[in-house]
């Protein structure tokens, strides 16, 4: 089963076409890396999956995106509901300037039914999410401290943790380690590997070694087009398209 399928997806920013006829399947439960040179449309494609591009009035899209077998542009799909199922983590860790605790429960306070918003239910959700994000031991004694006091790695883990209480199916990660040092990067990668099918993860990375380490499948894009999609081993070691071969060999980009 595919968690995400796009068919003939095109996207324009005004007159500029950033995605060209992208037809893509993202396997459920797998980690898929999106690779390609700067400006090829990785972030744009990622942002289509939670309809966040629509906030930009200059954006126009055609084609279809199905998430868990439902067209996300159907009139009965609410972008807010969609964004609960499809969480997103950005390059710069951007927790809210409130406490660690409030960051994690923020989504529940907005979206959960009253019984899931009792103090006991929220406490439980906080421990569960922070544990899953590898942050519980670090912060369990200072949940009331402001999130901006955390180190970068911890902040990025908090940004992951705050998505989890909403029980997302899909996590979109746009260069989640770009601002982190080597050790922090390793720790985040370990977290992603450890999810073991719990989430479908689509991760944009410029780091070829990272794509190899964390992903099951890789997608290579160039100038808004999807050039190649396959197992990470195949894309890196036996690329079918010469443009993929040149990119993974570091000949450009
Ligand atoms: N808001 C925007 N308005 C106009 N053009 C945009 C906008 N966002 C992106 N673009 C253009 O669309 C193309 C794809 O951009 P995108 O950010 O998706 O690329 P990317 O592959 O994520 O690049 P990078 O690796 O540098 O992050 C680029 O040519 C970019 O300049
Ligand atoms: Mg980008």
Say whether pLDDT at 253 is over 90: no
How does pLDDT run across 164-199, given as a tens digit for each residue? Answer: 999 999 999 999 999 999 999 999 999 999 988 999
Of 233, 160, 132, 175, the residue nearest 36 (C-alpha): 175
What is the number of the ligand 1 atom nearest to the C-alpha of 221?
A: 21
Q: What is the pLDDT of residue 7?
A: 97
- pLDDT classification of 252: cutoffs 50, 70, 90: confident
> Going by CA atoms, what residue is nearest to atom 6 of ligand 1?
13
Q: Are strands 16-27 and 200-204 parallel, antiparallel or unpaired?
A: unpaired
Residues in contact with ligand 1 (CB, 6 Å cut-off): 13, 16, 18, 36, 38-44, 56
- Closest Cα to atom 12 of ligand 1: 18
Query: Cα(113) to centroid of ligand 2, in Å?
Result: 35
Ligand 1 atom with least separation from CA of 36 = 21
Q: How many whole angstroms separate alpha carbon 253 and alpha carbon 235?
A: 16
pLDDT digits (tens, 9 = 90+) for 133-162: 999 999 999 999 999 999 999 999 999 999
For the chain, the structural domain boundaries read 2-248
19 alpha carbon, closest ligand: 1
Query: What is the 135 CA–ligand 2 centroid distance (Å)?
Result: 27
Percent of the chain with pLDDT over 90: 94
Structure confidence by residue, pLDDT tens digits, 7-59: 999 999 999 999 999 999 999 999 999 999 999 999 999 999 999 999 999 99
Paired with 88 in beta bridges are: 172
Domain 2-248 has CATH 3.40.190.10: no
Counting residues of the chain whose pLDDT is more than 70, the rounded percentage is 100
Q: 55: number of CA atoms within 13 Å, CB side?
A: 7
Q: At what angle do helices 100-111 and 152-161 cross, to 10 degrees?
A: 20
Atom of ligand 1 nearest to the CA of 14: 4
The arithmetic mean of pLDDT across residues 241-249, rounded, is 96
**1 pLDDT more than 90:** no
Whether the predicted pLDDT of 111 surpasses 90: no
Mean pLDDT (the chain, rounded) = 96
The pTM (predicted TM-score) of the whole model is: 0.96
């Amino acid at each position: 089963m595919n968690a995400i399928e796009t068919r003939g997806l095109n996207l324009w920013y005004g007159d500029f076409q950033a995605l060209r006829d992208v037809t893509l399947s993202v396997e459920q439960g797998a980690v898929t890396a999106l690779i390609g040179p700067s400006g090829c449309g990785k972030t744009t494609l990622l942002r289509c999956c939670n309809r966040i591009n629509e906030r930009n009035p200059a954006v126009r899209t055609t084609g279809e995106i199905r998430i868990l077998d439902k067209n996300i542009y159907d009139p009965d799909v609410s972008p807010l509901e969609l964004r609960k199922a499809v969480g997103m983590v950005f390059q710069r860790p951007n927790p809210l300037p409130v406490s660690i605790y409030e960051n994690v429960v923020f989504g529940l306070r907005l979206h959960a039914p009253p019984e899931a918003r009792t103090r006991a239910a929220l406490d439980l959700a906080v421990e569960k999410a922070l544990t899953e994000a590898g942050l519980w031991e670090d912060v369990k004694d200072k949940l009331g401290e402001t999130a901006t006091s955390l180190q970068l790695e911890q902040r990025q883990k908090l940004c992951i943790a705050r998505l989890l209480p909403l029980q997302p199916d899909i996590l979109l990660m746009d260069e989640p380690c770009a601002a982190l040092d080597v050790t922090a990067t390793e720790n985040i990668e370990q977290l992603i590997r450890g999810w073991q099918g719990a989430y479908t993860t689509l991760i944009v990375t410029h780091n070829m070694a990272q794509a190899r380490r964390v992903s099951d499948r890789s997608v290579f894009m160039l100038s808004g087009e999807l050039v190649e999609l396959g197992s990470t081993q195949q894309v890196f070691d036996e690329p079918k398209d010469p443009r993929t071969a040149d990119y993974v060999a570091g000949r450009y980009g």
